[in-house]
Amino acid sequence: MNTIYKKQNEKYMLMLQYSAKRHYNRAEWYAKCSWFICIAGLLVKIPCIASYLGVWAVVIPMTISIFILPFFAEKTKECTQIGAATRQLIDYKLFGFSCPIYFNNYTEEQLKEYAATEKNTHSQDYIRQINHCGTDKEHGVKDWYIIDENVQQEQAVRECQRQNKLFDNMLTKSLIIFVILLFVVAAIVFVILYGNDTVNDAILSLSFITPLITKASGTIRSYLELWRFNVKWKDTFCKTNISCEERQACIDERRRIVFIVPHRLHSFCSRKLHSIVDDSTNK
């Protein structure tokens, strides 16, 4: 018998899961806004807009790069860190680990306050979310881990950690393919817009695409960090003699990487994960 099966659906755990989901969704919103602003900044290249704005056609993209993008990047990171800390707290409570004073620089009391605020601010959505699970049409936070009530605690913990790793691998592969396609499309659009420019015009054009370059370089850095981590992740989980606590430390480190996943892709992968785990359980 294990305590995870029932405990994950207690009110406190569901409130924390809802808070984590809200913060990750908010991080995604900030990331989307920054991409939208970068793309909108390219509009100043359109001749009629550029001639109307004059020198501001150069100032606007630079302002976006220096002031606006760092703000959105910081908000994205903040929401991601709160979401990661909340998920860490959930796992430590569910798995019966000794809780540290700080979860990713946040105390349990702080995370509890964040969760209560999300619950009270979005009460109707909260009720819907805690009454739906990952296989439902309306993706919710109930039954987060797919666990047999009768397995022993350590086996249940390892299965939860395996699901975390499997889900993360699915998200990573799907998102990298999506981003590669996005960059290919962006490169084609860039060639169409700037392909006929002279050398001087091309240098000037760099000022128009500076926000996009800044955003893209930050995204690439996150992917490189994730790739380096996945090598470590694979080595750690291949070891049979490693403790559950050591495996969990690896999961916690991964969650702190600012790697934004679109909500629809997250929901799709969640349903796919439930299907894979259910199939393996029924065999």
Are 244 and 154 in contact by the 8 Å Cβ rule? The answer is: yes
Confirm whether pTM is higher than 0.85: no
For residue 45, the tally of other CB atoms under 10 A from its CB is: 18
pLDDT along the chain (283 residues), means of 10: 94 97 92 79 63 64 73 91 96 95 95 98 96 81 90 93 78 68 70 62 58 69 74 69 87 81 58 54 48
What is the structure's pLDDT at 206?
Answer: 58
CA distances from 152 to 159, 190, 236 (A): 11, 56, 22
Going from N- to C-terminal start, the domains of the chain cover 4-282
What is the structure's pLDDT at 50?
Answer: 62
Look up residue 182 and give its two tokens: 């996005």
Contacts of 252 (CB under 8 A, 6+ apart): 84, 88, 104
What is the structure's pLDDT at 274?
Answer: 53
What is the structure's pLDDT at 282?
Answer: 47
Contacts of 9 (CB under 8 A, 6+ apart): 142, 143
